[in-house]
Amino acid sequence: MTDTTATTDDTGLSTEEADAFRQKCVDFMEQFAPGANANLDDQKAFLAAAAEAGLAGLPVPTEYGGGGLTLAHEKIWREVKGNYPMPDSEFIISHGMCMPMLAEYGTHEQKERFLADNISGKTMWCQMFSEPGAGSDVASLQTKAELDGDEWVINGQKVWTTLAHKSDYGLVVARTDPDQVKHAGISMFILDMRGQGVEIRPIHQIDGGSHFNEVFFSDARIPKDWLVGDLNNGWNLATAMLMYERVAIGGAGAGKVNQPNFKMLRKAAEATGRLDDPVVRDQLMQIWSMETCKSLVAMKTRDELKAGKTPGPGGSLGKLFGSNIAWRVREMALEFAGPGSVAWDPDDDSGAELQRIVLNSFQSSIAGGTDEIQRNIIGDRVLGLPREPSVDRGVPFRELKVGTQTS
């Protein structure tokens, strides 16, 4: 007689375990799914309920407020959640970047203090890397941290910090030893975004929103034990965090093959009588193919995470696919809309949604690292091509004329 409890599916769980957990996720979503138009308070309520049900931060140990389960459970949860209308999450940085970094590199005390509130949505987190003179070349950052007794004193500026104005805490990288080469001498810290010496200025965007911010540090003080990882090892942590960011942006969370933009554009082609046009059909198939490839890359990246690996260059593949898709979707959406792409009835929500898609498509090639940076990473770390020459290799940072540093 066959023992069916020993049968496993592709998650590594037994069939019975997987089915039982999937049903638990379905039951929860049926009761608590916030809907596509959920605001920030709705999202916080959803996360609090998920944490209470043991469905938030699934791979994180229960002692730190997580579910104490596996990445196999996480995969099932994401698959189920993907079947319900959800808003663009305000917590994508909190949970897609900061939570895994704290879980992987934080001290026991840091995890005890910060993780549970992060997981449950009680606190929101941001990431602070880019500066006016250090965008694609983040290692040229000039924000500095100096130890003063039991505190680090931070001075400098960050820019393009997503959701800083809504965040309670953030992970910031700063230079702690300018006598080392630029990729060394950098450290990562936890920062209280409401603390003294921290000023946040929202940046008004072309689509009318203000998701991005400038952040200024004027003698902002950080407890000594809020250093994340080892001193002067911040570049390695920043690299890991950027990979988590690209995984989040690249859509590795779905856990299945999905073509949302293809479905949207196909519906638009039908509505405008363009579906039988062979050129349009060819364009739609290109979108379908790209989204399928993006999903498969994302699933491979998810399997790497499941195996306990820090995200690798696959995150760059997914992110590059995503930005290319966004540009193609913009072009097709504008073509289908015709005059409605530049003017529409103010009561027509679809017109405003079209403009959001169109205007947001431009930032997709910049956020999380430009397309050019992604191609460099893929060429170097996926294809094994030789790196471009580096003129500043081996030179102490204080001797370099980078960013706004002129002497």
pLDDT lower than 70: segments of the chain? 1-11, 88, 207, 246-256, 302, 304-312, 314, 341-342, 349-351, 403-407
Of 398, 336, 356, the residue nearest 175 (C-alpha): 398
* Alpha carbon separation from 68 to 51, 137, 213, 298 (Å, rounded): 11, 37, 35, 24
Q: Which listed residue (131, 245, 270, 291) is catalytic?
A: 245
- What's the number of CA atoms in the CB half-sphere (13 Å) around residue 91? 26
3-class secondary-structure state, position 336: helix
- What is the structure's pLDDT at 406? 57
3-class secondary-structure state, position 178: coil
Q: Which domains does the chain have, with CATH numbers?
A: 4-87 (no CATH), 126-233 (2.40.110.10), 251-369 (1.20.140)
Give the tens place of pLDDT for each residue, 382-401.
Answer: 888 888 777 777 788 887 87
How many Å apart are CA 50 and CA 24, to the nearest integer? 11
Give the tens place of pLDDT for each residue, 211-235.
Answer: 889 999 999 999 999 999 999 999 9
Structure tokens at 255: 């856990």
Structure tokens at 191: 């920062």
Of 196, 21, 198, the residue nearest 126 (C-alpha): 198
112: annotated active-site residue:
no
Of 331, 327, 319, the residue nearest 370 (C-alpha): 319
| Burial label, 155 (beta-carbon count in 10 A; 0-12, 13-18, 19+) | middle
How many Å apart are CA 269 and CA 289, to the nearest integer? 17
pTM: 0.80
DSSP code, position 225: G
Give the tens place of pLDDT for each residue, 314-348.
Answer: 677 778 888 888 888 888 888 877 777 667 777 77
